Structure 1
Amino acid sequence: MTLTHSASRKKAIRTALELKLRRAKGIRLQEFLTELMKVIHGDNFQPIGTDYSRGDLQCDGLLQNPLTIFACYGPVNAGANATEAAMKTAVAKVGTDFAGALKYWSTLKVWKFVHNYVEQPPAQIVQKILELRAQHSAIAIDLFGKEQFEAALLSLDAETITELVGDAASDEDFRALQPSVVLAVVDSTMKVVDHRQAPDDAPLEVPQQKLHFNGLSAHSQDRIVKGMQNAARVAKLIQDHQDPMLESDLAGAFKGKYLELKAQSLDPDDILFNLYDFSAGGHRTSAALDAAVWSLLAYLFEKCMIFEDKPVTQVAA
């Protein structure tokens, strides 16, 4: 049965999926694939344990009929800004995972390399897939990425999609921001941080190019821009709060978290998604929560509490 989703709903599903894939690094991608395949294929899909110390026979899950082996590769932040060395590792993994599948699964019919790239897969990986197809014409060899995840999700009902990827705020959800949800996000965040933060510097006016020179992806920029329509509302909620120190404590907490993440040399998007998780508190994402978190992050971004307020210049050697 083909389900019909509105254009607005499809956009929200794509947004939720992209966030899910960006966070699905390493073993999380295999776990996401398993959840999705069990819903779609039922007992025909066989999950495979993720304890690599015992060996997985180069299989991260399989369909029994026809015998289809899935191999998962989930680089950090969906492979954004991958180094040359990281790309060589990814290409090598395609080859070794396929060779292992051939060795351990003699009746193999289909092999799928599952990835979490949110852009088109790199040319080097596509080239390797084409090379394997030419060498093994009897086996269907395919990539399984964002487009395939999306097509699978869109065949499901709204409740199941939410169970799998959460819910992302639509334009309507941002316009209908719920103050109580924003305050709940703020209160739950402040409960897990040290309130005795050093007073933050006076907020600066956000530079016009801040979204660009911080190296954030188009997806991240879009979510912050969506949240910025509510920045003034969030500011008023915080300023009117019964705790007169909330604004300064909140700024200090998020600046401290940002600097902690930055010190780990994380990609800008990965820093942003960690800040998202820090705000969401591990709760399953609803549209209302998603709108509240992005609106709060946009407020902090606009007040220059998180991310850099001027381009980082390289010092000549």
Structure 2
Amino acid sequence: MGAVGVMKKSDFNLHFDFAFGNYHHTEFEKWFADMAASVFDTDFESIKAGGIHGDKKSDGRRISTETIYQCYAPESPRTFAENAKAKILDSFPDVISYWPNLKEWVFVHNNVAGLPTSASDALEELRKQYPSIRIFAPSPRRFLKDNFHDKLTLQQLIDIYPSASMNFMNVTMADIRPLLRRVMNHRSTVSVNALDFGDLPDEAKIDFNSLSPDAKFNLQRARPHVDVVERYLTGMNNPQNASKIQAQMRSKYEEAKDMEYNSDEILGELIQFVGGSTVPAENAAAYVIVTYFFDACDIFENVPDDALC
């Protein structure tokens, strides 16, 4: 992917696919509302939960068409199949009471296979009870991409997928070197054994540390480029300097952990520590460095052996 100035809208398809496949519950709702607000502008109201009425059974309203959107995005197709019918039938009576001028109700979901028969029957039952209201649950991926994602301007796409501005393909030794020197020269108050870091992790480590989908995505995007860090560390004239950098990273991790930050906050602290900034190139380089030490088991917690059985 090129720099922000030369990005193409097609560059963001990868980010759409990731969001659609990995966002659930409130993350999915926010993603949908952000896209809808960008497409419809002042014609869209994003409904936030609050007070005794919660979100009034709505994840957004298009004013001009009196359309209410309700999202349902559980973690698995099995959960969707088991609960979609109840979600539809339990929600709709309240929707009518909150929005008496309702003309259209759209059930926005994340199940690629579509609706199970029970949920489809529930929708048909509602259509018979409320013939004046258009009620439907469109094919989710196509609906979201055609009607929202693909209608966004380039700047709107950048706003919705801010990490897209990080170009990991362009991370070079020139980007990595000054950031690692910065880490090496940092004075730590925490004593850490630089050689006591465990075994190499597997993919389960990301899930075990409860990182958000966005954090996982950025670590996964950075992973193919960690060889730049490896080349720098192995090429250092003084091998003790590599151990010092390793210890500094572990020390900063332990410091953030002691502050009781959650996993995403710890990741942010580490990105900032190594030199991440608002400059996309620097941020991409910082992610590559942090990913290297994540994979080397110097930061974050490894999956216990008994959890692998």
Identify whether the pair has TM-score above 0.5, normalized to the shorter chain.
yes
Match of 2:137 in 1: 142
Match of 1:302 in 2: 295
- Matched residue SS, 1:15: helix
- Residues 70 and 112, structure 1, Cα contact 8 Å, conserved in 2: yes
Aligned pairs for 1:242-253 within 5 A = 245-253=244-252
**One-letter amino acid of the structure 1 residue matched with residue 15 of structure 2:** T
Shift of the alpha carbon at 1:296? 2.0
- Residues 15 and 168, structure 1, Cα contact 8 Å, conserved in 2: yes
For residues 221-264 of structure 1, the C-alpha deviation after alignment (integer angstroms, 9 at most, x for no partner) is 84253233433256479999x99944312123236657999x98
- Matched residue SS, 2:225: helix
1:108 aligns with 2:98: no
Match of 2:151 in 1: 155
Match of 1:3 in 2: none
- Residues 181 and 288, structure 1, Cα contact 8 Å, conserved in 2: no
- Mapped to 1, the partners of 2:254 and 2:235 lie a distance apart of 19
- Residues 300 and 306, structure 1, Cα contact 8 Å, conserved in 2: yes
Match of 2:202 in 1: 211
1:36 aligns with 2:35: yes
Q: Report the identity percentage.
A: 14
- Matched residue SS, 2:164: coil
Shift of the alpha carbon at 1:44? 2.2
Shift of the alpha carbon at 1:109? 3.2
Match of 1:132 in 2: 122
1:232 aligns with 2:230: yes
Shift of the alpha carbon at 1:96? 2.6
For residues 174-201 of structure 1, the C-alpha deviation after alignment (integer angstroms, 9 at most, x for no partner) is 231165588569969x99xx94223144
- Residues 69 and 106, structure 2, Cα contact 8 Å, conserved in 1: yes
- Residues 200 and 252, structure 1, Cα contact 8 Å, conserved in 2: no
CA-based RMSD? 5.1
Larger CA deviation: 65-74 vs 302-311? 302-311
TM-score of the superposition, structure 2-length normalised?
0.64
Q: 1:24 to 1:249 in 2, by over 3 A?
A: farther
**One-letter amino acid of the structure 2 residue matched with residue 51 of structure 1:** G
**One-letter amino acid of the structure 1 residue matched with residue 195 of structure 2:** A
**One-letter amino acid of the structure 2 residue matched with residue 154 of structure 1:** D
**One-letter amino acid of the structure 1 residue matched with residue 289 of structure 2:** L
1:10 aligns with 2:13: no
- Mapped to 2, the partners of 1:11 and 1:44 lie a distance apart of 28
Shift of the alpha carbon at 1:313? 2.6
Higher RCO (CA < 8 A, seq sep 6+): 1
For residues 128-180 of structure 1, the C-alpha deviation after alignment (integer angstroms, 9 at most, x for no partner) is 5423222123433225856544442232222221112214267xx32311655
- Mapped to 2, the partners of 1:227 and 1:51 lie a distance apart of 44
Q: How many residues align?
A: 285
Shift of the alpha carbon at 1:308? 6.1
- Mapped to 1, the partners of 2:116 and 2:236 lie a distance apart of 49
- Residues 166 and 285, structure 1, Cα contact 8 Å, conserved in 2: no
Larger radius of gyration: 2
**One-letter amino acid of the structure 2 residue matched with residue 105 of structure 1:** W
Structure 1 unaligned regions, length at least 5: 1-5, 265-270
Q: 1:59 to 1:12 in 2, by over 3 A?
A: closer
Structure 2 unaligned regions, length at least 5: 1-5, 208-212
TM-score of the superposition, structure 1-length normalised?
0.63
Match of 1:67 in 2: 66
